Structure 1
């Protein structure tokens, strides 16, 4: 690779550009991996990878170093691991401090808008019902009188109920549920939820939104389907909950690459990342974020459901 690569990984909420500059300070001291780099490539520019924190992920620095060591060997180039949130990752793309980012779908849309970075790879998990897509679900206590179903009548039962969303920036925990309520003509947009629900709260995370239901503080919660298990809640807690409505097709997190990266270098990078799917290397991927596989996707098609949901909910990327 004859140009400097800077690879950013991020997940979490994305904010408007005005708030981005302050968030870039959240990136911390990097770990530089120069193992397995040949003398000929020792002069190559460092590849920078920003690994995001995610709920349930522990010992991230050690896991990230294992991945950067692998990529350093594959690309024959020094690789640097730094850590930050999605806001910092998108700002790094925009400011040419990074060329590649692992991002949630909403952040990937923002990266396309601000940095002209396109999404090329998507994560697959064993607990995603659609492989590289998953479901947003409305969850109630197991003994709730609310009936399960997939029509407007099911969601209309929620009128006047105490609702616990995950966070105002969560795809499966807010954006897709609100978009569905709008599509079913139960609410006009995200700003008038209080006119439908008796109470609206935000847990701040999947586990806290579900705990609100388990503790009787809310009648229903909106989360991802995979949150109904470890590390979010225990099996015993999950047995006391029930899904009454689901929304399929929520796009998985993926890898966006800036258009400044040449096609040749982009292909080399994608090939190196796809080698994490091989049995000998797969533990590096699964240990990092519980993804079992990376697959190539049409970025625009993959992100389209999130784009539509944002528009329906009256929100911007």
Structure 2
């Protein structure tokens, strides 16, 4: 060990930015230790030690069933757009409600709660988010969170499920139309996911995922307007069910594609994720992506609170009701330090 005097000299010469950065690294190390001990932390920090394998890339294997299903889905959604003038105002309002609910199942649920453990949710709230997530139909919570942790840990590499380096189409939808890269599968298997396995809501949804999707993503959105105010089954299926589902899918996919390509990088110019206002709006708060990849454990995914961030407003309201607690937030000092050290100079205070 160094003598006490030497330690004091080292501390005296350390800049404030370096000290804050060291504090962040220590926080991430503590999260890793919590993950290993099963106390609720997650392994979502970028792994700088990962190196892509040399040699030719493995062949791309197209999953034609997925290609056909996604094509039919988007054709059905396009038809739903033409049916919008035929839908009653109540049906349009119901479609919007279903959009927000299913989006929250992804943003407040699978993403901020289960992928990053950035806040704690009570059992009633976890049940609601699990149901809302089934309405979104984007793989079950366990698989979604696992893949998202791999995405953060190996972002923009072969081990990233939707590696944006492979282009807009691949990172948006193409990654769902082909077999996963072997490194994605390998790294996903090595992640410790005990926190997800210990969550009864997550495992219940995983066990009954297919019937829950049929019920929440398609039947309920269609049945309610048909039964309660006499909407035609045709419109009820194509607008609040099919069109709404497709819009939520693409809003989520834009986080993987557009928010990794277009926008400013005020927090870390060395990474691809960007601040993209269009994605922020369409994905109810998920477009502050440069901030999120810099500080993945921040529950708000932004330094600006509820501004353009419906998901953060929802989590704050759940805390007000006593249904959520322990929101993790990065200190203002640490954010400013990171902006000065690695930002691209585009930062604004609000």
Query: Same fold judged by TM-score > 0.5?
Result: no
TM-score of the superposed pair, with normalisation by structure 1: 0.27
Higher relative contact order (CA 8 A, sep 6+): 1
TM-score of the superposed pair, with normalisation by structure 2: 0.25
Q: Which has the higher helix share?
A: 2
Q: Which has the higher strand share?
A: 1
